Structure 1
């Protein structure tokens, strides 16, 4: 991807983002209408929609009269550029990821409506995925320069084809990949290739390899119709300095960019043979996705995430631990109104789903215990020197020594409870979890004992110590990076930019 084009698009994004409002809990939804295609114009199709105020659109009659209004967070009329779509829907998700939250962007819409073009773009107009990767690495570089942080980034790329999960970075592997679940990171694919990356350019190379390996075909509605759902994931582990060492708890978020295959009317698309089977699997999984959304809106006790591999992988992003944005793409053609109407109804339901995102951390438990020990030792040393009096925290707040120890005691209790809970969820590491919880309980008791002694201490002292603990992720050695797979495999599908879905029309 041309770096000049990316820089130009990011400049537009910076200006546009100053006017945006972010919704941090509900799924963020925007609708993007592409221009009429050459085929549609040749058939004398007309735009059947009226766009209003940047967040709504009207379905119209054949006479141009307003019939039904649909309102969303954003509504992008043609020929809105991808940079503006990214500024509204992508930047809030990237910001959340860099703050430690999981983030997901997925594109939904009928076949040929411009989903893949919106996410992957073209040389002259980078897609949301490319802009998001570029944005993340810019923020990483600033954190390294300004905060002395360390980062460990890895990426993976998969597709769900006929309900089978395939590794786009190792298509010749032949292994049947299955879905597992981690109590912290959520659903993941066992055995999926993960590439360790050091730069934006390397990620783009990997992205191109994955795109070449996707299943695509030509139909009447789309010259390069995606026959599978794809999920590109970038995991970002960060470690920030804490005193003389790195903190022992680090943000461990992931950015998911999901390109859903389009719903397809087999009669209109002219699908036959294998294409009919593919369309059947695509439509079935999209129906399940719609059912999941509906159940979440209804507040149902059971949500059928496990009814398809797509919804199982997206379970954290739908009503779970993630910040999520959906871009619904549509053709403005009057002939596509029934399909577009269904897409907009899906978007309206998705807007009502509330996610419960939290900062995701990976804790090095042994290091966490050691950090807590050091803090207890500092407090005891202060007691010996005089105890009592006022304390200045690292945030510059002046509190009493009693208050400082109370906070420490409360924090240690919370950490002990959290690790006990994680230990129960991770049966394979139950012994280690129990030992850690026991040590934390001992430290909490030590803090409580220190509080009791301090209450009786008569003299004043000033203590400069912090109250926050962030366990660090250990960066992998550079030797390991050199062994990462170089994905220079032969193309078995299509090259990026060769008739990508919607590219000729969006």
Structure 2
């Protein structure tokens, strides 16, 4: 059995890594695709990788992983929100930055976790409901407003999802804070406005067919909610990032140049993100924010008063075994 344990505890209060296992789908049951992932507790899970010995005798290689939170197939979006994302909200009202990532291969349940559907709200909406409730309660003072922006990073370029995918340019001001010139912001007075923003933004987001999913997200979508007072002074900000599908190049059966470029850019930004989170976790003197557009833009979300939550989504079936192990190893590192 291979055991994987988190490397450091120093950044634990600032960075939490969670894993969510999605249920087996009906089509996978019909195809006799076995469930090989066991969520043994709220912090550990095991992957039973099928192997064949030299004498052709089949055996199982068990990989055990330990994370801050593990969500099994029976956990709802509400469960994920309460245990993983709700702890970020207080940071928002105390002048800080909070970031929530959804990571994993296409089809592992990232968008369901973040967006949900009409019957099951996702993390975006659950967080917004909490934020509006706190503002209305007056717990953190009066005159607070929520401003929303929604943009994507596609092939290293930024596009505004609330303004006809207009090209955007990140700039650093004198105090080295990254600002995005020309980004559209909309004031959200309630959750209904946020739903409209999400529906419109997702309708124009870059998608493409891969060997894994005919409607795969090929960009990183970033939804930001910023709390400001009546004087337009920023109180705090939360960013929700639905990362592009992390499937291997071998699974993307289209070999045209654009698909290869997309895949290379996605992999580069995911690697840069991992390096940034690792350096923060280990209290390194240098954090490599400039390695990708994604980490450069999110620089403010990692420094100072900040909290980060990574939710790795995995498929439980045997055919997805290699991608599942890759996702878990990425999250584990």
Residue 3 of structure 2 corresponds to none
Question: Contact (CA 8 Å) 2:226, 2:234: kept in 1 or not?
Answer: no
Answering whether residue 323 of structure 2 is matched by residue 330 of structure 1, we say: no
Report what 2:123 is aligned to. 128
Q: Aligned partners of 2:197, 2:266: CA distance in 1, in Å?
A: 25
- Structure 1 residue 218 and structure 2 residue 179: aligned? no
Residue 253 of structure 1 aligns to a residue whose secondary structure is strand
Q: TM-score, normalised by structure 2?
A: 0.86
More strand by share: 2
* Deviation readout 1:66-87 (Å, 9 max, x if unpaired): 7221111110111311110011
Match of 1:137 in 2: 132
**Is 1:236 equivalent to 2:227 in the alignment?**
yes
Contact 1:264–1:283 under 8 Å retained in 2: no
Change (3 A) 1:219 1:311: same
Q: Distance in 2 between matches of 1:122 and 1:26?
A: 30
Deviates more, 1:84-93 or 1:251-260: 251-260
Q: Please say if 1:106 is aligned against 2:125.
A: no
User: What residue in structure 2 maps to residue 160 of structure 1?
Assistant: 153
Instruction: State the superposition RMSD in angstroms.
Output: 2.6
Between the aligned partners of 1:255 and 1:330, the Cα distance in structure 2 is 24
Structure with the largest fraction of helix:
1
**Residue 197 (str. 1) matches residue 185 (str. 2):** no
User: 2:113 maps to which residue?
Assistant: 118
Deviation at 1:267, TM superposition (A): 2.9
Whether the aligned pair in 2 keeps the contact of 1:28 and 1:324 (CA below 8 Å) is yes
Would the alpha carbon gap of residues 132 and 226 (structure 1) be closer, same or farther in structure 2, given more than 3 Å must change? Answer: same
Q: Is the 8 A contact 1:34 1:114 kept in 2?
A: yes
CA drift at 1:33: 0.6
- Return closer, same or farther for 1:187/1:39 CA change in 2, 3 Å cut-off: farther
Match of 1:391 in 2: none
Instruction: Report how far residue 202 of structure 1 moved.
Output: 1.5
Tell me, in whole angstroms, the C-alpha distance in 2 between the residues paired with 1:96 and 1:340.
31
- Aligned partner of 1:305 in structure 2 is 289
Closer, same or farther: CA 227–323 of 1 in aligned 2, 3 Å: same
Aligned to 1:260: 243
Change (3 A) 1:152 1:183: farther
Structure 1 residue aligned with 2:328, among 326, 339, 344? Answer: 344
Q: Would you say the 8 A contact 1:58–1:66 is kept in 2?
A: no
Gap change, CA 1:258 and 1:333, over 3 Å in 2: same
- Give CA-to-partner distance per residue, 1:104-144, whole Å, 9 cap, x none: 1111112221111110111111110111111111111111x
Give the drift of 1:266. Answer: 3.1
2:220, 2:180 → 1: CA distance? 15
Alignment pair present for 1:290 and 2:285? no
Partner of 2:4: none
Unpaired runs of 5+ residues, structure 2, are: 1-10, 51-57
C-alpha deviation, 1:296, in angstroms: 3.9
Do structure 1's residue 41 and structure 2's residue 29 form an aligned pair?
yes
Compute the TM-score of the two structures, normalised by the length of structure 1.
0.58
Per-residue deviation at 1:340?
A: 1.8
Residues 142, 332 of structure 1: alpha-carbon distance in 2 compared, 3 angstrom cutoff: same
Q: Which has the higher contact order (CA 8 A, sep 6+)?
A: 2
Offset of 1:148 from its aligned partner?
A: 6.2
Corresponding position of 2:7: none
Number of aligned residues: 315
